[in-house]
Amino acid sequence: MALALFWVVPLAVTTLLLSRRQLHKAFVQHYKVKRGVTEQIQEGLECMQEIRSYSGEQTYCRSFDKRLKGYERELVRGELVAGVFLNLAGMLLKLGMPTVILVGAWLLQQGEVSVFTYLAYLLASAMVYNPIIEVCNYLALLSFLDVRINRMKEIENMPTQEGSADVQLENYDIEFRNVSFAYETKKQVLHNVSFTARQGTVTALVGPSGGGKSTTAKLAARFWDIEDGQILVGGNDISKIDPETLLKHYSIVFQDVLLFNASI
């Protein structure tokens, strides 16, 4: 009778374990598309002035609508994948009660079990599977959370910028030597850029929006590390200078400045 009661449990658990790869793949894609939608919302809010200046509202809205529909598709796909495997595991568990009824009736007819034992197993079969179904739901939820946990681990494992704090600058000239740089999209923002901003002079970077002016200024302060080339301050490669030490020599005024009509 115990075998008739629990034979479906290993099958249901095995089904969920085999489905983890598919669930993980679906949740990774869902999270990736969701992050893309969030990034585009943030981009629209931060660059609203530029979008309107270049009459790019329709282009932005079409791109956002495309991403939103993609997110909707991935959301439905993820729910379907999870639903199929969870329902399959639930159906397997539901086979346990008919098995107990049939096997128990046969054993009762053969005189192998008493009526009390038969009724006890019937009562157990009506109660034991619901908690197991809840556990199966939590196993699927763990697959969903695993994607976020892995992303957090990726962030924690990102290399930190290091360098020497004992640096003597000969002067405050900023020199770019054949600098190339790209963000996560791998599309190069700067390619083989070289120039020198002399101490005591004013150096202006002139170009269209999105041409890499702000990126160049931020690279000079080592907000990111470059892929190729060198950036030097006072004859020292900034990639070998501790970021905190380097920033002590900078005074940065960002282009989006908010002035309050009040005393500081």
Calculate mean pLDDT across residues 56-61. Answer: 86
What does the pLDDT look like over 99-127, one tens digit per residue?
888 887 888 788 787 888 878 878 887 78
Cα 13 to Cα 140: distance, rounded to the nearest angstrom? 11
User: Quick one: CA torsion of 33, 38, 42, 45, rounded to 10 degrees?
Assistant: 100
Query: H or E stretch including 33?
Result: helix 8-46
How much is the pLDDT for 176? 93
Span 41-68, average pLDDT:
85
Confidence of residue 9 (pLDDT cuts 50, 70, 90): confident
Asked which of 44-48, 66-70, 201-205 is least confident by mean pLDDT, the reply is 44-48
Which residues are paired to 241 by β-bridges?
Answer: 164
Q: Can you tell me the distance from the alpha carbon of 227 to that of 180, in angstroms, rounded to the nearest whole number?
A: 6
CATH code reported for the domain at 2-156:
1.20.1560.10
The residues spanned by each domain of the chain are 2-156, 174-247
Read off the tokens for 100: 């107990």
Q: Residue 34: which residues within 8 A CB-CB, separation 6 or more?
A: 71, 74
- Is residue 73 over pLDDT 80? yes
Q: Give the per-residue pLDDT at 264.
A: 63
Quickly state the pLDDT bin for 198 (edges 50, 70, 90): very high
pLDDT band at 258 (very low <50, low <70, confident <90, very high): low
- State whether CATH 3.40.50.300 applies to domain 174-247: yes
Q: Mean pLDDT: which of 103-117, 162-176, 187-201 is highest?
A: 187-201
Please check whether residue 22 is in contact with residue 81, taking contact to mean a CB–CB distance below 8 angstroms: yes
3 vs 229 pLDDT, higher one: 229
* pLDDT given at position 256: 65
The pLDDT of residue 43 is 83
The rounded distance, in Å, linking the Cα atoms of 89 and 132 is: 10
Return the number of other C-beta atoms located less than 10 Å from residue 89's C-beta.
26
From residue 195, give the alpha-carbon distance in Å to each of 216, 225, 230: 11, 18, 11
Average pLDDT over residues 51-74: 86
Q: Are 192 and 145 in contact (CB under 8 A)?
A: no
Q: Read off the pLDDT of each residue in 71-91 and give the average, rounded to a whole number.
A: 83
d(CA 72, CA 69): 5
Over residues 45-74, mean pLDDT: 85
Residue 117's CB is within 10 A of a number of other CB atoms, namely 14
User: What average pLDDT does the segment 204-230 reach?
Assistant: 86
